[in-house]
Amino acid sequence: MEYEVKSILGKALYNDVLRITDGDTDFTLFKNKTVLITGASKLTGYYAVCSFLAENDLYSNNVRVVAVDSDERLFELYGKLTYRQDIDLIVSRDYSNLTTNKTDFVIHTEDIDDIDGTKAVLNLLDFIRRNRAVALLLSKSDIYGSVYNGRDTIFEADMGYCDPAEKSGRRIQLQRMAESLALSLCRDGVDIRLGRICRVFGYKKSYAEDGVEDILRAAMNGTNLVIDMKKSLPQSFIYPSDAVEAIFRIIENGEPAQIFNIASGYFSSDFQVANECVSLFSDKELKLVRQNDIHPLSPMAPTLPKLDIGKLSSLGFESKTDLRSGIKRSCEIIKEGCLC
């Protein structure tokens, strides 16, 4: 096919995509189907789109990909990939213009902050219902709010407090509303699964800022790694190629109306990321600068954002990327200078 993924993506990024296509996913499930992916300019959505396109190149699966995002720079991000015949790009904040032909699968990765709230949720769910599509809707793990479960990790059945008067609380409430509406559709036979995804780290070149990306950029530039210790708490993380494999595993083996935590099983903080960078790039003589002292957590503090992945593991998912290898691969992509 003209404009093959291999010839357009950088080598390191393409190798990441191959880790998905060569993984455990049975891509014949999507053969000759149409897949709509929201959040296509963000890290997880971008990797998912590219994996389908690469599968088409390698195995002629004839998957049609509809890449949707709220950011008008979507076309800029995909560059020459937009010339392919197997991809359509749509910019939308409320999903009212999803007028594609029959859609078989919907993978919703768009951040709830980037869409027009309730209107967008209702439009997307109605689109799924009308198409009778198999769908996976992702929420961020902050949907849990402040959980006090007395354990070390957070399970899918946990649900903590959030303040609806705060911006973060309103976001959490909207995510919870979206899940409730999706589950109500399942009662009518619509095949929807729900995922709650932890922090996805890596080099994005997407239009979302992230503290880990700042650390990686600083490390590659040989500048000081400045860490605010008060904000550097251990939490779940997952590398984007693993995140996409987890998504496919849920679609392939998960049951409708089920909720799955999506994480690697590894935990890390910004401080640990910076420490790994100091060790990995010793030739750069990086300096780790701590801002603000960290105080021991109170026994009354909420459970840290560490997601239990027992349900996901029961589907056969196993993370392939630990923190150190994820940092190395992300920095290789940074060296290439761009995603496409």
Separation of alpha carbons 283 and 288, rounded Å: 14
Rg of the chain over Cα atoms, rounded to whole angstroms, equals 20
Task: Please say whether the beta carbons of 158 and 147 come within 8 A.
Answer: yes
Task: Please say whether the beta carbons of 321 and 242 come within 8 A.
Answer: yes
pLDDT at 248: 98
Task: Please say whether the beta carbons of 272 and 319 come within 8 A.
Answer: no
pLDDT at 76: 93
The predicted-structure confidence for 206-220, as pLDDT tens digits, reads as follows 434 566 888 888 898
Residue ranges per domain, the chain? 5-200+236-265+306-321
pLDDT at 231: 82
pLDDT at 1: 65
Separation of alpha carbons 314 and 316, rounded Å: 5
The predicted-structure confidence for 207-264, as pLDDT tens digits, reads as follows 345 668 888 888 988 999 999 888 888 999 999 999 999 999 999 999 999 999 999 9
pTM: 0.95
* Of 21-25, 213-217, 223-227, 336-340, the least confident: 336-340
CB-neighbour burial class of residue 86 (10 A; exposed 0-12, middle 13-18, buried 19+): middle
In CATH terms, 5-200+236-265+306-321 corresponds, of 3.30.365.10, 3.40.47.10, 3.20.20.70, 3.40.50.720, to 3.40.50.720
User: Is the pLDDT reported for residue 83 higher than 60?
Assistant: yes
Separation of alpha carbons 88 and 64, rounded Å: 8
More confident residue, 129 or 220: 129
* CA distance readout (Å), 182 to 100, 129, 185, 252, 318: 21, 10, 5, 19, 27
Confidence of residue 340 (pLDDT cuts 50, 70, 90): very low
Confidence of residue 339 (pLDDT cuts 50, 70, 90): very low
Separation of alpha carbons 141 and 55, rounded Å: 29
* CA distance readout (Å), 49 to 36, 186, 274: 9, 26, 30
Confidence of residue 67 (pLDDT cuts 50, 70, 90): very high
User: Is the pLDDT reported for residue 130 higher than 80?
Assistant: yes
pLDDT at 100: 73
User: Is the pLDDT reported for residue 205 higher than 70?
Assistant: no
Separation of alpha carbons 107 and 37, rounded Å: 5
The predicted-structure confidence for 42-63, as pLDDT tens digits, reads as follows 999 999 999 999 999 999 999 9
Residue 202 sits at the vertex; the CA angle it makes with 307 and 290, to the nearest 5 degrees, is 80
Q: One-letter amino acid identity for 195? A: G
Rounded to the nearest integer, the mean pLDDT of the chain is: 92
Instruction: Give CB contacts under 8 A, 24+ apart, made by 28-31.
Output: 28/61, 29/251, 29/252, 30/55, 30/61, 30/63, 30/104, 30/105, 31/61, 31/62, 31/63
